[in-house]
Structure 1
Amino acid sequence: MTAQLGRARAALAATSYSAASMILPSLIQAAETTAADAAGRVRDRAHALLADAYVLAAMLATKAHTDAVAWVAADRALRAARASGDVLAVAGAAREVAIAMRRQGRHASATGLLADTAARLDAGTGQTDSLVLARYVNLLCTAAYASAQAGKPHDADTFISEAELAARRLRAAPPALGIPTPATVAAYRISIHNALGDPSASLTVARTVDPGPVADLRTIRQVLHRHRPRLGRLRGPRPCRRRAAGGRAGSSGGGPPAIGHRVHLRHAVPARTRPAPAARAGGPHAERLTRERP
């Protein structure tokens, strides 16, 4: 199961969403069976692995803009993580629940969950484990963006400034999937400025970024591409460029798959975890998640 989880995580990182969605259903079923039948440390480990699998399912559903599926998968992830007692699993699952809340417009609940979870990590010491510190930075970045979308610039700046300080302590850590760097935090600050209606500040941040690893440079480029219409208005009109005769790179199918595999992505979460038609707006789930907030 650990190998399956690694393959699913690698496929998601490579934007191979269809491949990831083919792995997750059997992985989730196997982890649930093990968690139900095992005891002791084996059961705890199965719950933690199940939580990580549901986190990936929630991320896939978010990529496909199926927010109700993402909400249910994140809820399942948080339940499994709490059953495992693994603080890293709880932090990762809580972040996905908060993202689902934010996408449903529940910014205050999302920010509260993120802040409470980050505080429980106790990551303020110099001896903090690098993986715990990485989760701490990710939680703060997500809280900052949720605050910006809620129109609270002071809260957003408080969260992202703390994330920047914590990310500097990760410079000595080896690059790994999910380990943020100062460039990762800078990408969030760019998005925060745009969410607050200040794209000129985004350009200022982008010009000062030390991209570091290639993964972080790709993150910066994705953020800038997302906000290109606003940034283009600041830079003024650009000369028209003719498209190359062969079309854009990747248009022949050689590029990464588009975020459009909705049928496959829905199968990433077993059918019994999907919301009933009456619950697709997230109402009952929202109340349940609020009550479960740590």
Structure 2
Amino acid sequence: MTSNLAGVLRPDEGLRHFTLGRPAAHPDLDLWVDRYWTVRWELPPGASYLSSVLSHPALHLSVESGDGPRHGFPMPATLLHGVVTRRFDILLRGEGRVFGVKFRPGGFAAFTGLDTGGGVDVASYTDRAVLLADVLGGGGGGAIGSPAAADGGVAELQASILAAGEDDERVALMDEFLLARRPSVADPRYQELLAIVAEMLADRSLTSVQSVTDRFNVEPRTLQRLFRRYVGVGPKWVLRRFRLHDAQLMLDAGEVEDLATLATTLGWFDQAHFTRDFRAAVGVPPRVYTAPTPG
């Protein structure tokens, strides 16, 4: 496992304003794709909702429609989102729909053939959203693109996804698109990365890069290069984000009675350091985050 269901901040509040689905991708895509996701909203005229996410160390492909622009692009659009290191905010207005692909950490880089000399420099997309056609077409250089289409087949994919009436149709269309472009050669460096990421996520005792390098008997510089090359951010950031996600899940579930104990359990020196990092990432301290919201 390389991810959990953390990320959407104040999920119970958010689900009063939008619907969220997490359909599975085709099993043959499991090495690279974590899951698909869908969001749909329809707000009354003049109403809006600020949706906030504490993002995972993963790239996303999204087919988006509805009122725009969004992410600086007119709608509809098919985008590639790099890892978002800050809080991800999107102001929802009117109506809209997104069908997305969440790649595993490093999955998009491996999918584009990074280990075989091609691929995409994912670090160049960190904290950015770009048109997928620019990545898969002539300017992107990724093996994922279709040589039969200058845009890598993105226009056809977008039209089909937007015309589909149900999510199971969209899943089948995205499966077909990605299966036709999956790598024919396994990437051993990526598989090594997956094993490390899975352990970092699952084991809450891993709270420092040193603890990871000791566990996997790898040099710190080697680990740093592996993460920068495939994920787009360093191992320290990934480790801290996983522990913040752990904290968020526990806070959302009402499982935290003592913030000081939570902080030290997840690797912070004390409650003050945890509160500082939580506030920097989420925007408010833990006690404000868990306070009841009006309405």
User: Do these two structures clear the TM 0.5 threshold for a shared fold by scoring above it?
Assistant: no
TM-score (norm 2): 0.26
More strand by share: 2
TM-score (norm 1): 0.26
More helix by share: 1
